[in-house]
Amino acid sequence: MELGYWLARVCFGFQPRRLERRLRAQGLRGSRYRLPSGDLADITNLVGEARRKPLPLSHSIVDRVVPHLSRSVELYGGENKAPFFWFGPYPRVVIMDPELVKDVLSSKFGHFEKPKPSQNIKQLALGLANYEGEKWAKHRRIISPAFHVEKLKIMMPAFAACCDELISRWEGLADSAGVLEINIWSELQSFSGDVISRAAFGSSYKEGRRIFELQGEQSELVMQSNRTLYIPGFRYFFFI
């Protein structure tokens, strides 16, 4: 019954249409819902187009990282500052007012629930970012001691060793004039994994580094699948 209800809601758009009417009744503006995947196709095209363009030497990276948000703000932002777009059958409201952002982040009464992770996201990770209520509080208490200042001080030798190795490697790669061109994104990814691996795994940090490499590959696959419409149970259907 649950699968049938979800399919009916997606295929016929009853729930999305109802949500769209409620959003517009509150004065919000956004794109029209389109069966069955909303703005997913446009988002994929915009992201692909942005990635194909050279990255300008500027701190203005929004158009590169989240071009679909820029487009929503440009088309529907205006004075209300809360445009929305459709991620599958679910509306996403873009909040830009600092006071509204503060209300959402400081809410302690459950008025703003965290988005329910899809099965794709669950395959990657579950943790504090996804939990609510008492479960969130319990796990927050468990991990909190690991971030105390005194605990972090113990990890400083590992942090320093990673920094020294990174700088030494860069110096070895530079030419006689001390000039080097590198992909800083992949370098910092590797550096972060090295730091965490040494701090968490100690002498077996190479094993930890391999775990982070596998997680990176898994993250890329999850991000690719997340740009398509997920239908629960659809993977159990086989087409010949």
* pLDDT category of residue 2 using cuts at 50, 70 and 90: low
Torsion of CA 169, 170, 174, 180, to 10 degrees: 150
Provide the residue ranges of all domains of the chain, joining segments of one domain with +: 2-108, 113-145, 148-224
Say if residue 1's pLDDT is above 50.
no
Cβ-defined contacts of 9-12 (< 8 Å, 24+): 9/89, 10/35, 10/36, 10/88, 10/89, 10/229, 10/231, 11/35, 11/36
- What is the number of residues in the chain? 240
* pLDDT recorded at residue 15: 83
| Half-sphere exposure in the Cβ direction for 5 (13 Å, CA) | 3
Say if residue 8's pLDDT is above 60.
no
Over residues 14-71, the pLDDT tens digits come to 888 888 999 999 888 899 998 878 888 888 888 888 888 887 777 888 888 888 888 8
Highest mean pLDDT among 49-58, 128-137, 153-162: 153-162
C-alpha closest to that of 133 among 116, 114, 118: 114
* pLDDT recorded at residue 123: 65
Gyration radius (Cα) of the chain, Å: 22
